[in-house]
Amino acid sequence: MKKAWCSGGAPEGTGPSTFDFLKNEATDLLDNKGSAFAKNRNEATDRGPEGPGRSLLETMTQRLQDRIALVAGGSRGIGLAIGQALAREGASVVLVARDRRTLQEAGRQTPRAMAVAADVARPAEVKRLFVAVNKRFGRLDLLVNSAGVFTYKPFERTTLDDWRRNLDANLTSLFLTTRAALPLLALSQGGHIVNILSISSREAFPKCSAYTASKFGALGFTRVLAEELRSRKIRVTAILPGSTDTRMANEFDFPVKREDLLQPEDVAEAVIAAVVQPARATVNEILITPSCGSV
Ligand SMILES: NC(=O)c1ccc[n+]([C@@H]2O[C@H](COP(=O)([O-])OP(=O)(O)OC[C@H]3O[C@@H](n4cnc5c(N)ncnc54)[C@H](OP(=O)(O)O)[C@@H]3O)[C@@H](O)[C@H]2O)c1
């Protein structure tokens, strides 16, 4: 399905060279808009894991060197902050989302990033995504599921379409990406799945019925997965953030003091803390909330 790819489609069964894609797209922008993207283009394409752009100090302090990570929902908000934090730690990062323009910009802002446009609620697009990851890297070390949508409406105004959008993006996507990623995670020396869930995976808030149903389900799914994959040495972590200052928080129908909310980088730091643990230690769940409480 061509529309799954930023570059306008890869031949069936071959998968795109998405690093090349990023380079080509960036080159187009460079031609159109001057030299502003030159540095980022080089970071995204020329700096391999042992690339020339890394200082010795950077290399010595990076804890995820040579790791391959995929962040679903990596084009903005919490997912982008996670992708950038992983890249700072030395990982090569595959950023995934639907909107190509936002995704391209995210790719340019993230060193060693590969950007792939895909809807992770659609089986065919997920399949194609992981074919590309396999072709490019041959394995996956870390799957981060951060793609999600949020509907803030009283139950009686929640439509079936709202319900399905939340269930598809927040729950079915986990089923699809996990199923597709497992063969690649099994080839890692220490596969890890991190699901970005929510305080709404544990607590009920009014006007969030569809979202809460999806996030409660996602926590149940994550806990079962953790038990099933333990014997295969694949670790599973649930991150449960409270209100975070992203586009999602625009949905609230009451005034929000943005400075009271978590920042996406706070959630990203929690993810880093979980994934840098030694293989003998699993961080099962992290609940991280604004210090002022629920907003
Ligand atoms: N912000 C909060 O207060 C908060 C609190 C607790 C938990 N969370 C959770 O944190 C995660 C990230 O949310 P956020 O606050 O960062 O929201 P955001 O800024 O709206 O980002 C959502 C990301 O998911 C992508 N996405 C959505 N549906 C997708 C799909 N079907 N396929 C692929 N990508 C998809 C979006 O890109 P496209 O739209 O281009 O696809 C975007 O990259 C979500 O799971 C959310 O439930 C957020």
Q: Are 210 and 168 in contact (CB under 8 A)?
A: no
pLDDT of residue 52: 46
For 255-263, the CB contacts below 8 A with 24+ separation are 256/295, 257/295, 260/290, 260/292, 260/295, 261/290, 261/295, 262/288, 262/289, 262/290, 263/81
Q: What is the mean pLDDT of residues 117-130?
A: 98
- pLDDT greater than 60 at residue 150: yes
CA-proximal residue: ligand 1, atom 42 (nearest): 73
* 3-class state of residue 24 by DSSP: helix
Cα of 35 vs centre of ligand 1, distance in Å, is: 31
Closest CA to 126 of 135, 116, 136: 116
Q: What is the mean pLDDT of residues 40-54?
A: 41
Q: What is the mean pLDDT of residues 34-55?
A: 38
pLDDT of residue 295: 82
The residue with greater pLDDT, 27 or 85, is: 85
Cα of 73 vs centre of ligand 1, distance in Å, is: 6
pTM for the predicted model, two decimal places: 0.86
Cα of 224 vs centre of ligand 1, distance in Å, is: 23
Looking at the DSSP assignment, which residues form a beta bridge with residue 97?
117
What angle, 0 to 180 degrees and rounded to 10, lies between the N-to-C axes of helices 173-185 and 209-230? 20
Within 6 A (CB) of ligand 1 lie 72-73, 75-79, 96-99, 102, 119-121, 146-150, 169-170, 173, 196, 198, 241, 243-244, 246-249
Q: Which residues contact 29 (CB under 8 A, 6 or more apart)?
A: 37, 104, 108
Q: At residue 11, what is the residue type?
A: P
pLDDT of residue 95: 98
Instruction: Band the pLDDT of 13: cuts 50, 70, 90.
Output: very low
Q: In this predicted structure, which of 11-20, 184-193, 264-273 has the lowest mean pLDDT?
A: 11-20
Q: What is the mean pLDDT of residues 129-135?
A: 98
Q: What is the mean pLDDT of residues 144-166?
A: 98
- Tokens for 23? 């380079």
Instruction: Band the pLDDT of 20: cuts 50, 70, 90.
Output: very low
- Which CATH number applies to 2-288? 3.40.50.720
- Choose one of 215, 246, 295 to mutate for the ligand 1 pocket test, by most ligand atoms within 8 angstroms of C-beta: 246
Beta strands 285-288 and 235-241, pairing class = parallel
**Helices and strands of the chain, counted as H and E runs:** 10, 7
Q: Which residues contact 190 (CB under 8 A, 6 or more apart)?
A: 141, 233, 235, 279
- pLDDT greater than 70 at residue 40: no
Cα of 251 vs centre of ligand 1, distance in Å, is: 12
Which ligand 1 atom is at minimum distance from the Cα of 243? 3
* pLDDT tens, position by position, 208-254: 999 999 999 999 999 999 999 999 999 999 999 999 999 999 999 88
pLDDT of residue 54: 65
* 3-class state of residue 173 by DSSP: helix
Q: What is the dihedral of CA 274, 97, 64, 226, to 10 degrees?
A: 40
Instruction: Band the pLDDT of 53: cuts 50, 70, 90.
Output: low
pLDDT of residue 36: 24
Instruction: Band the pLDDT of 118: cuts 50, 70, 90.
Output: very high
152 catalytic? Reply is no
Q: Which residues contact 20 (CB under 8 A, 6 or more apart)?
A: none
Choosing from 21, 211, 216, 221, the catalytic residue is 211
Taking the alpha carbons of 121, 98, 79, 68 in that order, is the dihedral positive or negative? positive
- Choose one of 150, 212, 261, 266 to mutate for the ligand 1 pocket test, by most ligand atoms within 8 angstroms of C-beta: 150
- Choose one of 110, 145, 244, 288 to mutate for the ligand 1 pocket test, by most ligand atoms within 8 angstroms of C-beta: 244
Please give the Cα distance from 267 to 258 (Å, whole number): 15
Return the beta strands (E) in 148-232 as ranges: 192-196
* pLDDT tens, position by position, 162-217: 999 999 999 999 999 999 999 999 999 999 999 999 999 999 999 999 999 999 99
Residue 256: other Cβ atoms inside 10 A: 13
CA-proximal residue: ligand 1, atom 46 (nearest): 148
Q: In this predicted structure, which of 46-50, 147-151, 291-295 has the lowest mean pLDDT?
A: 46-50
What DSSP element (H or E) covers 143? Answer: strand 142-145
Q: What is the mean pLDDT of the chain?
A: 85
Cα of 184 vs centre of ligand 1, distance in Å, is: 24
Q: Are 38 and 135 in contact (CB under 8 A)?
A: no
